[in-house]
């Protein structure tokens, strides 16, 4: 037995450090392997393919450099899709984040029926989008649709909601909000329930007891981390808008509802221009990444984490 505690502890700790690191790596290895195969690998492959002129099935793709990217920049369809996607994100994200927050605040204030309203608002999240799209198609149908029937009964003109270029994107935005609202609401409800009641008590004693003062002093700042998360997740989801477009409009009429995901889909899977679709995908990924980074940078300064 050594008399010095350092001498007693030093060597074994070094050894333990090394074996601890090895254990840590061993534990992480499955997910690292999995992520390499399922995530980093495909992204890298897409990037490599985007530098070729590969058409799906072509046995001899040739290296094309940045040709696909040059074509993309010159393609008006890409710009239309980019604009439409931006429009969609710009409407759907704020509307569903603040709408979800509003609904969550209303529901959390209920003493009864809270579960009922929560379930009602969450149903659209659980419904398969394609099935929901079919239901919406029926509701929005120009001649037999319920919406136009109601409008006409009220003496208002009906519309061909999904076929009028000026209307189709706003209508898709409404559907997008309808689909996302329940999701943001549930996240905000969870965030609200984690705010300690003592903070509201303290606010009441300090004089912040009105609805607005309570919200500004306690609720909104305490929801900061949840709000950041909800913003990033809904934005990512909104960028990937595809199902409703594919089922209801196929990007029409005349590209009026063309969005990035649909362009990637039609280039890659309808026209089999895999190289070009890959270039679109790379651009798409870059936009999402940049958007998320900027968002979290902006928020991080203002969000309080416990």
Partner 1 sequence: MPHGLTLRRIAKTVGKQTILRDISLDVRPGEFLTLVGPSGCGKSTLLRIIAGLDRQSSGEVWIGGRRADDLPPKHRDVAMVFQSYALYPHMTVRANVAVPLRMRRLKRWQRMPVVRSVVPSVRREETRIADKVDEITRSLAIEHLLARKPRELSGGQRQRVALARAMVREPAIFLMDEPLSNLDAAMRIQARAEIAQLHRRLGVTFIYVTHDQTEAMTMSDRVVVMLQGELLQIDTPETIYSAPADLRVAAFVGTPKINVLEGQVVRDGTLEAGGGVFQVPSGIAVGTRMSVGIRPEALKPADHGMAARVTHVENLGSDILVHATLASNDQTIIARLDPFQTARPTFGSEIKLAPLMERILLFDDAGNRIPSTNARSVA
Q: Residue 306, interface with partner 1 (CB under 8 A)? A: yes
Measured from the CB atom, the residue of 38 and 205 that comes closer to partner 1 is 205
Figure out which of the listed residues 105, 213, 240, 272 binds partner 1, where binding follows CB under 8 A: 213
φ and ψ of 63, to 5 deg:
-65, 130
Q: Minimum Å distance from CB 200 to partner 1?
A: 9
Cα–Cα–Cα angle for 283, 289, 294, nearest 5°? 125
Nearest to 257 by CA among 133, 94, 95, 74: 133
Segment interacting with partner 1, rule: CB under 8 A, options 3-11, 133-141, 143-151, 216-224:
216-224
DSSP 6-50: HHHHHHHHHHHHHHHHHHHHHHHHHHHHHHIIIIIHHHHHHHHHT
- Residues 181-200 binding partner 1 (CB under 8 A) are 196, 198-199
Figure out which of the listed residues 206, 294, 298, 300 binds partner 1, where binding follows CB under 8 A: 206
* Alpha-carbon gap, residue 212 to 210, rounded angstroms: 5
Q: What are the helix (H) ranges across the chain? A: 5-35, 41-49, 67-74, 76-108, 114-126, 129-140, 146-153, 165-193, 197-206, 211-214, 220-222, 224-239, 243-244, 260-265, 274-302
Segment interacting with partner 1, rule: CB under 8 A, options 14-22, 57-65, 102-110, 204-212:
204-212
Measured from the CB atom, the residue of 96 and 219 that comes closer to partner 1 is 219
CA dihedral of 14, 16, 19, 24, whole degrees rounded to 10: -110
Query: How far separated are the first and last CA of the chain, in Å rounded?
Result: 46
User: Total residues contacting partner 1 (rule CB under 8 A)?
Assistant: 21
Figure out which of the listed residues 151, 204, 247, 272 binds partner 1, where binding follows CB under 8 A: 204
Measured from the CB atom, the residue of 180 and 227 that comes closer to partner 1 is 227
Measured from the CB atom, the residue of 74 and 212 that comes closer to partner 1 is 212
Segment interacting with partner 1, rule: CB under 8 A, options 17-25, 32-40, 182-190, 215-223:
215-223
What's the Cα-to-Cα distance from 251 to each of 90, 111, 185, 254, rounded to whole Å?
18, 45, 29, 7
Q: Minimum Å distance from CB 298 to partner 1?
A: 16
Measured from the CB atom, the residue of 151 and 204 that comes closer to partner 1 is 204
Measured from the CB atom, the residue of 2 and 197 that comes closer to partner 1 is 197
Paired tokens of 253: 């009429």
Write the interaction track for partner 1 spanning residues 218-257; mark x where CB under 8 A is met and - where it is not: x--xx-x---------------------------------
Q: Residue 20, interface with partner 1 (CB under 8 A)? A: no
Q: Residue 212, interface with partner 1 (CB under 8 A)? A: yes
Q: Residue 300, interface with partner 1 (CB under 8 A)? A: no
**In the beta sheet, which residues pair with residue 63?**
52
Contact 286, 278 (CB under 8 A): no
List residues binding partner 1 (CB under 8 A): 196, 198-199, 201-209, 212-213, 217-218, 221-222, 224, 304, 306
């Amino acid at each position: 037995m050594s008399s010095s505690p350092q001498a007693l502890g030093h060597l074994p700790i070094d050894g333990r450090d090394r074996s601890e690191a090895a254990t840590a790596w061993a534990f992480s290895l499955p997910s690292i392997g999995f992520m390499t195969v399922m995530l980093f690998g495909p992204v890298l492959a897409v990037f490599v393919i985007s530098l070729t002129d590969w058409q799906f099935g072509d046995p001899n793709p040739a290296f094309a450099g940045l040709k696909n990217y040059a074509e993309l920049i010159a393609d008006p369809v890409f710009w239309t899709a980019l604009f439409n996607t931006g429009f969609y994100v710009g409407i759907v994200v704020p509307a569903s984040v603040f709408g979800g927050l509003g609904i969550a605040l209303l529901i959390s204030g209920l003493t009864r029926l809270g579960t009922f309203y929560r379930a009602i608002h969450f149903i659209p999240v659980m419904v398969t989008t394609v099935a929901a799209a079919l239901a919406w198609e029926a509701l929005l149908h120009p001649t037999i649709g319920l919406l136009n029937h109601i409008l006409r009964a009220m003496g208002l003109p009906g519309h061909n909601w999904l076929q009028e270029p000026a209307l189709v994107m706003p209508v898709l935005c409404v559907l997008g909000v309808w689909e996302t609202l329940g999701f943001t609401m549930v996240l905000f409800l969870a965030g609200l329930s984690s705010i300690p009641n003592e903070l509201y008590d303290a606010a009441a004693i300090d004089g912040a007891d009105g609805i607005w003062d309570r919200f500004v002093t306690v609720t909104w700042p305490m929801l900061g981390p949840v709000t950041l998360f909800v913003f990033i997740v809904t934005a990512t989801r909104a960028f990937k808008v595809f199902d409703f477009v594919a089922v209801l409009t196929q990007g029409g009429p005349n590209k009026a509802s063309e969005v990035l995901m649909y362009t990637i889909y039609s280039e890659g899977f309808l026209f089999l221009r895999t190289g070009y679709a890959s270039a679109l995908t790379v651009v798409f990924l870059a936009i999402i990444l940049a958007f998320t980074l900027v968002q979290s940078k902006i928020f991080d300064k203002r969000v309080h984490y416990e």
